[in-house]
A and B are shown apart, each in its own frame.
Chain A
Amino acid sequence: AQKITQTQPGMFVQEKEAVTLDCTYDTSDPSYGLFWYKQPSSGEMIFLIYQGSYDQQNATEGRYSLNFQKARKSANLVISASQLGDSAMYFCAMREGGKNSGYSTLTFGKGTMLLVSP
């Protein structure tokens, strides 16, 4: 079974509008971390935001926020006030095990292509 599912192959949004990119995950480990990365056409993966399974509040980083719904096992990325430079592939990823578990690996979803139009 896939550990990370991103059901939206592509999303379109107009500049200055908000957009939500979906991510659901599957794990039986009570301790895990969820990540979002951005991959522009240059190819480099850029870390955006992190949410730990025990974090009480949803993570926010500037225009990025993570809508974490633990019971539904979803970790959607919300980008507010989209900019043209936000056009890129976005990957959701999960690391199982806690902060002190060490040696953890990141499992990625298939990604969502976001296109921001003027």
Chain B
Amino acid sequence: EAGVAQSPRYKIIEKRQSVAFWCNPISGHATLYWYQQILGQGPKLLIQFQNNGVVDDSQLPKDRFSAERLKGVDSTLKIQPAKLEDSAVYLCATSKGYTGELFFGEGSRLTVL
């Protein structure tokens, strides 16, 4: 079974530029999460989808971050414009149901200069 796929693995941009990350979940996993992990900290939830609907986006900085999950499969996370403090690893995770076990991708490491 293929795992959660994310791209790009690494991205370096200057502040005020935009960036987009892509996530392809494990087949059949209805729930998809985007987490932000700043160096030295645990992952923090940004947004949670159930199929293509948003369940929780309370910690998403909506003035600069947006995410969508068209057709309930792939998802993209966009940052525009980026700030220095957005430098982090963006982790995509998916789960099959409500058991809570999340399967993570390898993450997309963003550096904002």
A contact residues vs B (CB 8 Å cutoff): 4, 33, 35, 37, 42-47, 50, 91, 93, 95, 99-111
| Contact mask for chain B residues 53-74; partner A; CB cutoff 8 A; 1 contact, 0 none | 0011000000000000000000
User: Any chain A CB within 8 A of the CB of B22?
Assistant: no
Residues 73-112 of B contacting A (Cβ, < 8 Å): 89, 91, 93, 98-107, 109
Q: How many A-B residue pairs have CB under 8 A?
A: 63
Could you list 8 examples of A-B contacts with CB < 8 Å? A43-B107, A44-B107, A45-B43, A91-B43, A103-B31, A103-B98, A105-B45, A110-B40
Most chain A CB within 10 A, of B89, B101, B103, is at B101
Quick check: B98 and A99 within 8 Å, CB to CB?
yes
Chain B residues with CB under 8 A of A107: 45
B contact residues vs A (CB 8 Å cutoff): 31, 33, 40-45, 48, 50, 55-56, 89, 91, 93, 98-107, 109
Chain A residues with CB under 8 A of B106: 42-44
Residue of A nearest to B4 (CB): A44
Quick check: A47 and B98 within 8 Å, CB to CB?
no
A107 CB to closest chain B CB, in angstroms? 8
Query: CA separation between A90 and B44, bound complex, in Å?
Result: 15
The 9 closest A-B pairs by CB, nearest first: A108-B42, A45-B104, A95-B100, A43-B107, A103-B55, A44-B106, A102-B98, A33-B100, A108-B43
